[in-house]
Amino acid sequence: SDFCECSKNRNYDLKFHAYLRADNLLKYKEYLPFLKKAGLCEVFVGIESFCDRQLKLYSKHVSAKNNINAFKILKKSSLDFEIGAIIFEPTVTPYEILLNYQIIKKLKYYKCNGPGKKCISLMSDLTLIKDTKLEKTYQKKGINTQKSFIEFMYSKSKEIHKIKNEWCTKLIQVQELDNCICCEKNKISKKNLRKITKLKRKLIKIDLDYMIKISHNIIHERSTAKTTKIYEKKLNKLKKQFQKYL
């Protein structure tokens, strides 16, 4: 509140980004309009998951409901924003993957990624820090945490590692193009706006294609023959629904 008050009479142009937790965003949501006037231009929230079991695993101390409400607040604020999500981790189940996707679709996450806004991707690696509660939890489950993220995650790690590398390579190419266009001028021309719009669609397609590919691998590895068919059917249905964003 002191910062918001002091910034009212400033005689300089200040632009800043904020990194927030979902619970703090909910607690101090009434300050967002004042922070926006003070120069807040973008917000990042490490939501990580819309699944309570995963949030507990990550020691986030927030619920999936908190994350959903925080997302809705950001959407209403008209601020540029980005969320961090770690959907793929060693103990994730096919059900949890589908649950995350369903909520992402319901919240229309990709619709927030309009022309001229920063490229959004939901791909984040799980980085394990030595001697943390999370590392010990995995070790108790017999997971070798000394190996790389992809290696200790699945037995079919080579295929998933290949998918992940392709994904990141394409994603970086799109983001670099996006940054180049956005940095050319403060005011983006109509021509560049069209270029960015195409890049956004390309990024969404890359994101969704590889999320689906990795999900298929997990479903086949974690499910019985009977449940695989059920999960595959649901995943394909979600894939078709996501195509509307393209």
Half-sphere exposure for 239 (CA within 13 Å, toward CB) = 17
Instruction: Using a cut of 0.85, tell me whether the model's pTM lies above it.
Output: no
Give dist(CA 66, CA 109) in Å, integer.
Answer: 16
Q: Please give the C-alpha separations between residue 37 and each of 8, 16, 34, 80, 223, in angstroms, as whole numbers.
A: 8, 11, 5, 14, 51
The DSSP result for 95-119, as a single string, is HHHHHHHHHHHHTTGGGG--TTSPP
In order along its 246 residues, the chain shows pLDDT tens digits of 566 666 666 666 778 888 999 999 999 999 898 888 888 888 889 899 999 999 999 999 999 999 999 999 988 888 888 888 888 888 888 899 899 989 988 888 777 755 445 555 555 667 778 888 988 888 888 777 776 554 545 555 566 667 667 767 776 676 666 666 555 545 556 676 677 677 777 777 777 777 788 788 888 877 888 899 899 998 888 888 877 765
| The two structure tokens encoding residue 168 | 């990141």
